[in-house]
Structure 1
Amino acid sequence: MPRSIRLEYPGAFYHVMARGNRRERIFADDLDRRFFLQALGEACERTGWRVHAWVLMSNHYHCLIETPEPNLVAGMQWLQNTYTRRFNTRHRAWGRLFGDRYKAVVTEGRRGEYYCTLLDYIHLNPVRAGLIHLERGGSVRDYPWSSVAGGYALPTRQRPVWLVCEEGLGAYDLSDDAAGRRRFVAHLDERARTEAVRKCGVPWGIRGQSTNLDSRDWLD
C-alpha cells in the first residue's frame, strides 16, 4: 500500500514523533541527546523551523514544529539521516536507527485550543514514564531532556534561538519573565500531582482508548 502524502504548507504546525527501529533506544547516553539537539538546531537553521516544544526519551522523541516554509519532509529527512550517521559513527554501528516512518500530525497552531494541550502532553511525557516523582519533592523541571528544563524555565539568553518559548508562555497568558516561567512550571507540576501517572497530560478525548499517542511505545 503506498504511503500517504505529507501535507505541507507555509506556517504549518506539526506534532512530530519518531521511534527507534524495533522500538530500541535511539539515545545510548546524554552525549547522544546533545548530538540530537545539535542536529535539530542545525535543521532549524537550514529550514527556518521554529520549535515550540520537545522531549527526548530513551527510544523516541516528540517535537512541536512550526514550518514557515512548506519543508517538513526535506527537513525531517536531513535531521534523521544526519543524526543516524552521527550515532552510527560514534557507536560503530550500522543500519537504520529509526523504525517506521515518523509520525507528523498537523495541529491547529498556537491560536487553537489544542496548542496548550499539546505542549502539556509533550512536557508531561517523563511523568507518564515514571521518571519524575513529585511525591519526593521532584518537579517536571528536573527532567533535563525536555524544553521545560531546556528552555521554558530559562531566561531568554540561555535558550536555543530556535526554541520559541515566549509564544508558548503567551498561550497560557504568561509573561516571559521569572514569574511567568515559575507559573508555567507550577502548572505542569500541578497536573503531575493531581492526575494519574499513566494518563497525566493525555487529552481527554483519547483517554481509555488504544492509540499511538497513549501506548507504552511512546513512554519509555
Structure 2
Amino acid sequence: MESAGVYFVTARAANQQDLLADDEMKDWFLDKLLSLSGEAGWKLEAWAVLANHYHFIGHSPSTADGAGKSLGLLIRKLHALATMELNRREGTHGRTRLWQNYRETLLTHQRSYLARLHYVHQNAVHHKLVTVGSDWKWCSAADFKKAVSPAWLKTIASFRYDEIAAKDGE
C-alpha cells in the first residue's frame, strides 16, 4: 500500500474453509472487524462477511505511512484474534494458519469504486445466500439502503461487477 485513500480489501480463509459458517462466529467476526478498523483509524464504508471470506471498502488514515502500516496491523490482528476465537470455540489448540493473505486495491477511479461498492453489497446475492443484498445480516447493504436516495441506490446497482468477481476467483 503506497498512499492514503479509499481501498477495497478482500481476504479469504485458507483452503476455502468455512471458518465463519456459524452465525454467532460471523457476528463475532463482524464486531471485531468494525471495532479494530476504528481503532486503526480506518473508516469502513461497506463490508460483507461470508463463511470463507470477507470484503470491505474503507478510508485509510490520512498519511501514507499510516495507511499501509495500519491496514497490515488491522488484518493481522483480526486474523489472529479470529484464529484464537475459533480454536477456543472448537476446543482446538495450535492452529495458526487459518487465513490466506489479504489483497488491497486503491480505488482511484469513480467507476471502479462504484462497481466495488455494488459488489460488496451484493456479495451474498452473488453467492446465492440471499436474493436481496440488504437481507444479509453481515453486510452493510441494509444500512446503505436506508442512508441513500432510491435514485443513488439505482445508480450504484447499474455498475457491473462480474469482472471483479472473476478476478477474486468467486
* Equivalence for 1:112: 110
CA displacement at 1:54 relative to structure 2: 0.7
Is the deviation greater in 27-36 or in 85-94? 85-94
* Equivalence for 2:87: 88
List per-residue Cα deviations over 1:177-209 (Å, max 9, x = no partner): 6xx1x4555566x66xxxxxxxx9425xx38xx
Whether 1:62 and 2:55 are equivalent positions in the alignment is yes
Q: In angstroms, what is the RMSD of aligned CA positions? A: 2.6
* Equivalence for 1:153: 145
* Aligned counterparts of 1:153 and 1:202: Cα–Cα separation in 2: 18
* Equivalence for 1:99: 99
* Aligned counterparts of 2:152 and 2:82: Cα–Cα separation in 1: 31
Whether 1:212 and 2:167 are equivalent positions in the alignment is yes
Whether 1:22 and 2:15 are equivalent positions in the alignment is yes
Higher helix content, 1 or 2: 2
Structure 2: gaps (5+ residues)? none
Q: Contact conserved, 1:53 with 1:147, CA < 8 A, in 2?
A: yes
Relative contact order (C-alpha < 8 Å, sep 6+): which is higher? 2
* Aligned counterparts of 1:183 and 1:143: Cα–Cα separation in 2: 22
Whether 1:78 and 2:77 are equivalent positions in the alignment is yes
Structure 1 residues 148 and 102: CA distance shift in structure 2, 3 A: same
| Percent sequence identity over aligned pairs | 23
CA displacement at 1:67 relative to structure 2: 1.0
Q: Contact conserved, 1:16 with 1:104, CA < 8 A, in 2?
A: yes
Structure 1: gaps (5+ residues)? 1-6, 134-138, 155-175, 192-199
List per-residue Cα deviations over 1:121-159 (Å, max 9, x = no partner): 1111122212233xxxxx33222221112x2134xxxxx
Is the deviation greater in 51-60 or in 76-85? 76-85
Larger Rg: 1
Q: Contact conserved, 1:20 with 1:97, CA < 8 A, in 2?
A: no
* Aligned counterparts of 2:152 and 2:90: Cα–Cα separation in 1: 38
Q: Contact conserved, 1:19 with 1:98, CA < 8 A, in 2?
A: no
CA displacement at 1:91 relative to structure 2: 2.1
* Equivalence for 1:32: 25
Structure 1 residues 212 and 63: CA distance shift in structure 2, 3 A: same
* Equivalence for 2:123: 125
Counterpart amino acid of residue 98 in structure 1: L
Counterpart amino acid of residue 117 in structure 1: A
Counterpart amino acid of residue 63 in structure 1: F
Is the deviation greater in 96-105 or in 40-49? 96-105
Give the alignment's TM-score, normalised by structure 2.
Answer: 0.80
* Aligned counterparts of 2:166 and 2:133: Cα–Cα separation in 1: 24
